[in-house]
Amino acid sequence: MDAQKVDLFLMTNGKYFESHQLLHIRDRLLQMEDTKWGILQTIQFKDPTIILIVSLLGGGLGIDRFMIGDTGLGVGKLLTCGGFGIWTIIDWFLIMGITREKNLAELQQVLY
Amino acid sequence: MIYNSKRLYLFFLAACIAGYGWIFYNFQGMQSGNLAPDVCLIKRMAHIPCPSCGSSRAVLALVQGHFVQSFYINPIGFIIALIMLIAPIWILRDFTRTERTLLKFYQSIEVLLKRPTWSIPLLLMLLANWIWNIAKGL
């Protein structure tokens, strides 16, 4: 794919991924066929900051986990008062990284 | 969704151990008269019980054989007790037979829960339970 398009994509969507993954994503996108550009533009990534806010407010009910698609773990968190409160606090620190991983997994479905 | 089977089994095992430890700690505390502290963040901060508050007490009532009393404390206790009973046996079965049936079951449940036909009624039931919890003042 055109380097200009790839850079445009990374400029607008770079914040949804881990910084160390960006170089790898760029290489992959450059190798990608031009026809996939349309599909790539339609992917809706989850904003890690929004998920963090949700985690701070509704983490005790597992809403953050439900939002990123971890329904099973969300139910687990919901049924145990947020994992006795401990899991809620741990997730405040982990949820942004997990969201970025989920975004990468979503991108990989288009890439491969 | 957890695709890695090793992580899922470890997670279930850790959750079961934590659950049994917590129940044992509460059981001992109940007998000696020292009740365990409130661990629910929502209850601590907002002073209202969360949908699953009281499930420890419900499981403890189940252990003592008080089924009706357990239902009145919190019906979620039944679900937790069922998961805690089945999960270790299932993990052991999968481990000895080198199968991944628990992982497949977990993934199919996750897909099912994402469907509105399942998620909306369950959510409504949970909300009703929450309102009941607040009314009971757990």
pLDDT of A64 above 90: yes
Share of chain B above pLDDT 70, in %: 96
Higher pLDDT, B36 or B127: B127
Q: List B residues 25-54 in contact with A (Cβ-Cβ < 8 A).
A: 39-44, 50-53
Predicted TM-score of the model (pTM): 0.85
B74 near A CB under 8 A: no
Which residue segment(s) compose the domain that A53 sits in?
A: 3-111
B123 near A CB under 8 A: no
CA-to-CA separations, A74 to A4, A62, A91, B77, B113, in angstroms, rounded: 40, 5, 11, 17, 11
What pLDDT does residue B45 have? 83
* 3 state DSSP class of A77: helix
What pLDDT does residue B3 have? 59
* Residue range B70-92: mean pLDDT, rounded: 91
CB contact under 8 A, B113 and A75: yes
- Greatest Cα pair distance, chain B, in angstroms, is 47
Q: How many domains does chain A have?
A: 1
Give me the half-sphere count of Cα atoms (radius 13 Å) on the Cβ side of residue A97: 6
pLDDT tens string A6-59: 888 889 888 999 989 899 899 888 888 888 888 888 889 999 999 999 999 988
What does the mean pLDDT of chain B come to?
Answer: 87
Which residue, among A64, A80, A101, A108, would best test binding to B if mutated, counting the most B CBs under 10 Å from its CB? Answer: A80
Which phi-psi region, left, alpha or beta, contains residue A72 (left: φ > 0; alpha: ψ -120 to 50)?
A: alpha
Structural contact between residues B100 and B94, judged by C-beta atoms closer than 8 angstroms = yes
ipTM for the predicted complex comes to 0.85
CA dist B132 and B138 (Å) reads: 9
**In sequence order, what are the residues at sequence separation of 6 or more whose Cβ sits closer than 8 angstroms to the Cβ of residue A78?**
A61, A62, B51, B52, B126
Q: Which two three-digit tokens encode residue A9?
A: 């994509």
What pLDDT does residue B33 have? 73
